[in-house]
């Protein structure tokens, strides 16, 4: 795990360095070509330098806040005695305390990546619109899984997320390699989350073709009570 993290950090640093080398090269070329032209005013330069981090901050905050909107649904499903606690879960399910920090970090990286691509292509460009669709799909997963207890529909959403992300990352990479690199941890986590969702589906088969996990949890609870009563 540490090895992959180091490789990813090296990739991010390399992309960042390459981006700045290209920017310096282009800046030198422009200065050479237009050395006798009037220099831009300091006011315009200052405004441009402020607008870049501002767009990044706004994009990051919006992405994180969007992710937080699903928190009440998740907490309701995972509370003590809730349906999620009573269904079959894989032994390799991460503890609850892991998900909050991980998703906060991932949504932050998404926001930075989107802002970089949006500034380069326009926030109404095809790649930006595809990302917004992907992001909306991402936000729909928690209400479907924890709110509606539709495990298989949630798994379908995860597959759709993987499919769209497999198109987005190379597209991002061509526009801004750093933006593409920032989505790699999200892709890795999404693969893990999809595998976890699939295993939960396997451990909790459908009832009459409809997998309402809350109903499944109720049946399991009744079975446990019946077994305890029989042993007493």
- Structural domains of the chain ordered from first start: 53-231 (1.20.1260.100)
Question: Residue 135 corresponds to which tokens in the numbers above?
Answer: 């992001």
Check pLDDT > 70 for residue 48: no
What percent of the chain is modeled with pLDDT above 90?
58
Residue 104, number of CB atoms within 10 A of its CB = 14
pLDDT tens, 94-136? 999 999 999 999 999 999 999 999 999 999 999 999 999 999 9
For 184-218, b where at least 16 C-beta lie within 10 A, e where not — what string? bbbbeebeebbebbbbbbeebeeeeeebbbeebbe
Check pLDDT > 50 for residue 158: yes
**For the residues 206-224, what does the mean pLDDT come to?**
63
Residue 80's SS3 state is coil
Residues in the chain: 232
pLDDT of residue 213: 62
223 pLDDT band (50/70/90 cuts)? Answer: confident
**Beta carbons within 8 Å of 60's beta carbon, 6+ residues apart:** 107, 108, 111, 112, 115
pLDDT of residue 14: 61
Residue 100's SS3 state is helix
């Amino acid at each position: 795990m540490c090895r992959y993290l180091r490789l990813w950090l090296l990739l991010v640093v390399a992309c960042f360095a390459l981006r700045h080398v290209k920017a310096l090269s282009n800046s030198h070329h422009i200065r050479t070509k237009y050395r006798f032209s009037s220099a831009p005013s300091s006011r315009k330069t200052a405004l441009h330098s402020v607008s870049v981090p501002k767009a990044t901050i706004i994009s990051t905050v919006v992405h994180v806040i969007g992710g937080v909107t699903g928190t009440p649904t998740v907490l309701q499903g995972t509370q003590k005695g809730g349906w999620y606690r009573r269904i079959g879960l894989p032994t390799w399910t991460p503890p609850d305390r892991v998900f909050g920090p991980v998703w906060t970090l991932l949504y932050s990286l998404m926001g930075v990546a989107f802002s970089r691509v949006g500034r380069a292509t326009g926030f109404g460009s095809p790649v930006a619109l595809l990302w917004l669709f992907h992001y909306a799909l991402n936000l729909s997963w928690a209400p479907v899984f924890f709110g509606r207890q539709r495990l298989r529909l949630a798994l379908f959403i995860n597959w759709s997320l993987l499919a769209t992300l497999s198109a987005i990352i190379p597209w991002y990479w061509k526009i801004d390699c750093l933006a593409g690199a920032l989505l790699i941890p999200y892709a890795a986590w999404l693969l893990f989350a999809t595998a976890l969702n699939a295993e939960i589906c396997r451990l909790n088969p459908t009832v009459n073709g409809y997998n309402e996990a809350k109903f499944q949890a109720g049946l399991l609870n009744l079975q446990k009570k019946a077994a305890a009563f029989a042993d007493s």
